[in-house]
Amino acid sequence: MIAIYARQSIDKQDSISIETQIELCKKEIKTNEQFKIYEDKGFSGKNTERPQFKALMEDIKNGEISQLIVYRLDRISRSITDFSNIMDILEEHKVSFISANEKFDTSTPTGKAMLYIIMIFAQLERETIAERIRDNYYSRGKTGVWLGGPAPFGYTIKKVSKNAKKFSILEPNKDIEIVKEIYNLYATTDTSLGGIAKTLLDKYSGTMWNNIKLSRILHNPAYVKANADIYNFFKSKKCTITNDITDFTGEKGCALYGKRDRGSNKYRSYEDMVLSISNHDGVIDSDTWLKCQLKLQNNVQIKNTGKGKHTFLTGLLKCGYCNYSMQVKTYKDKKYLNCTGRYITNNCIDKLETHHLFEIENYVFEEIKLFVKNFQNLELSDKKIENDNEINNLKIELHKIEEEIKNIINNLSSANDVLLKYANEKIVELDNKKIEILNTINEKRIKPTNITIPNLDDWENLSNDVKKNFVNKIINRILIFNDAIEIDWKH
């Protein structure tokens, strides 16, 4: 029996219909032998997962088919590997193959050779088209337009026209206030993703909140007011950035796109991803966004912290060997600290010993008393960024200086003594300028404000919230080593 196979992905005006394919195939039948029609409508040729095609291959393996006729080779498959395997099956069961459009018959040696040549070019065409589409996609991304798909929560897709061309951008809607609330809660409190989800479920009806949705929002750079710090963050993650650092002015959001490895954590690795400045305005300041990334990345949440009930040092304790957060574990009514990164990085395995929580708390408290005593007559201050635009411009200038120093160093290998002399002088000049900029940035960051010092003589009776609030105003982090504890003070 002769088999006629026809396939069409989708209905298009410029694509030949299944009915027309079948009629053209019938014209290739030169005998009175019976024929059977197999047709798959709405199925791609990128693989062989098609119901009627599977039925056809079963009939071939059962010896029911003597000849297979198709309109074109790509109706069978667009993959040369799949097609080669199919041809092996046809040859094994002595089934000849005819393509009506390409006009060849595999019952002849010439026809078989032509078949493989045409399949090679068919796959080349498919890969070329895919590459062209991908390049066009990335090229459009560089212009800052929205590349498609649903808008991030809090934004609406808006169609605009420019120079007679239409494109899409993002526009904030009423839900953007919820996004701001989510970032503020996660960056400034110890509330977990689960706790934030519960808060939102109680407060806002009509939307389902869970950890996955919140994580997606908190990782999305579409919300951030992208400045030099955001540029450096993604650069450190080996992400491809299409814009120069001077475009990161602290106003616009970003678009992150590209093919992710499904087997890897898409938020842990930004390699092979592309970041572009978008046309829409960001809504979250860079400091808040980066705080959330650090908390998400290092899992800076002590188990069941809620309000930090285990210790007033919640969120400050870090492993001195790998910089991952320390987690409180309870065993027989005693509390210990374990490194959360010991199974993620090899830096602290078999290095960091177990520490008793109360010993760490006592040590830090004694250091706090000394710190307060030394600064009792001085005005303590919170470091708060002022004049963001000016500071961002300074950071951009700092980045350019570092790049210039790097370029000079990279070219020193081919320099003679004279060039080395001038190169050293230039590096010293740039380094002095770099120090000057860093000092200027630090000066502009400091805004004196009074910090209320609690009664340290009554420390044991103070609530955890009062202790935490004070400690977080004076300490950046606490590094735990086997034989030492290092406190990074804010002042």
15 burial via Cβ count (<10 Å: 0-12, 13-18, 19+): exposed
82 and 202 housed in the same domain: no
Residue linked to tokens 């609690």: 454
pLDDT at residue 57 above 60? yes
Domain span at 332: 317-381+449-489
Whether the per-residue pLDDT at 431 is higher than 80: the answer is no
Model confidence at 346, in pLDDT bands (50, 70, 90)? low
The lowest-confidence range among 18-32, 211-225, 310-324 is 310-324
- Cross-strand partners of 38: 5
Q: With respect to residue 63, please indicate whether it lies within any of the assigned structural domains.
A: yes
Nearest to 447 by CA among 388, 375, 399: 388
Averaged pLDDT for residues 336-364: 74
pLDDT, residue 384, reads: 47
Name the band, by pLDDT with cuts 50, 70 and 90, for residue 153.
very high
Do 117 and 240 lie in one domain? The reply is no
Instruction: Tell me: pLDDT of 87 over 50.
Output: yes
- Is the same domain home to 343 and 251? no
Structural domains of the chain, count: 4
pLDDT of residue 58: 94
Sign of CA dihedral 212, 214, 215, 219: positive
Q: Report helix, strand and coil shares of the chain as percent, to nearest 5.
A: 45, 20, 35
Residue 269 maps to a domain: yes
**346 shares a domain with 334:** yes
Share of the chain above pLDDT 90, in %: 19
> Does one domain contain both 370 and 401?
no
- Quote the pLDDT of residue 301: 40
pLDDT digits (tens, 9 = 90+) for 193-218: 888 888 898 888 777 888 889 999 99
Looking at residue 232, its pLDDT comes to 87
Identify whether residues 223 and 273 lie together within a single domain. Answer: yes
Q: Is the pLDDT score of 383 beyond 80?
A: no
- pTM for the full predicted model: 0.50
155, part of any domain: no
Q: Are residues 267 and 334 in the same domain?
A: no
pLDDT at 459 over 50: yes
Q: Is 416's pLDDT higher than 60?
A: yes
Q: Would 124 be classed as within a structural domain?
A: yes
371 and 284 fall within a common domain? no
307 within a domain of the structure (yes/no): no
Same domain, 219 and 194: yes
Report the pLDDT value the prediction gives residue 134, as an integer from 0 to 100. Answer: 67
pLDDT at position 165: 76
**Dihedral (Cα; 321, 322, 323, 324), 10-degree rounding:** -130
Question: Does one domain contain both 16 and 120?
Answer: yes
Supply the pLDDT for residue 417.
76
The pLDDT of residue 298: 58
